[in-house]
Amino acid sequence: MKKKKKGMYGYRSAHKKNQILIVLLFLAVIAALLVARQFITWDSLRNLVTISAILTVLPMANLASPLVASWKIAETPADFYEACRPYEEKFPVLYDLIITSSELIIPIDVSVIHPTGVYMFCPVKTADTKKAEKFLNEMLVGWKLDGNVKIMTEKKNYLNRLATLKPVTEEDDDGSAPHVEKLLKSLSM
């Protein structure tokens, strides 16, 4: 089985499982250190083991906080993935992203990168899509790319929009798609 990378279908679930395993490993190490502390009679070594347990909590918390933030975000439904798969032949398509900023955590099930813009589907109907679009457009412009992101929350409208996208010709292709893809992956947890 091949490892799921950011932007691949199934990444959210695979990443969650991986993070859970790592957090559980850290918890086991912390518990082992605290248990070992009880059997140590030398005070200096006991203090060292206690400090090690305390310091092990910090990296575990760094791993656990994004896991907690993304806990309720489900994987892209398989039927929606199948409906979007045909576009992979025409355009770069990213799946299962969770775009984060200092103010937002927004799940993006599908992102299609096209010369006319980046078309994203967010499954959360109450998401502040205008704020997310503004943030993403600012990031794109900051990378000297065209800032034209559109986030939709209705599946039917999103699929209709994808159906209207014209195939990319050599004269339309400005070569920015790999840079946009890299930026979106870097903004995703």
pLDDT in tens, 54-97: 999 988 998 888 888 888 888 889 999 999 999 888 889 999 99
pLDDT in tens, 91-140: 899 999 998 888 888 999 999 998 888 999 999 988 888 999 999 989 98
Cα separation, 64 vs 69, whole angstroms:
9
Place of tokens 């699929």: 159
pLDDT in the model for residue 108: 93
Cβ contact 46:40 at 8 Å: yes
**How is the chain split into domains, by residue range?**
11-69, 78-187
3-state SS, 136-151, equals: HHHHHHHCCCCCCEEE
Cβ contact 140:180 at 8 Å: yes
CB atoms within 10 A of CB 170: 5
- Determine the number of helices (DSSP H) and then strands (DSSP E) in the chain: 6, 4
Torsional sign, CA 175, 181, 182, 183: positive
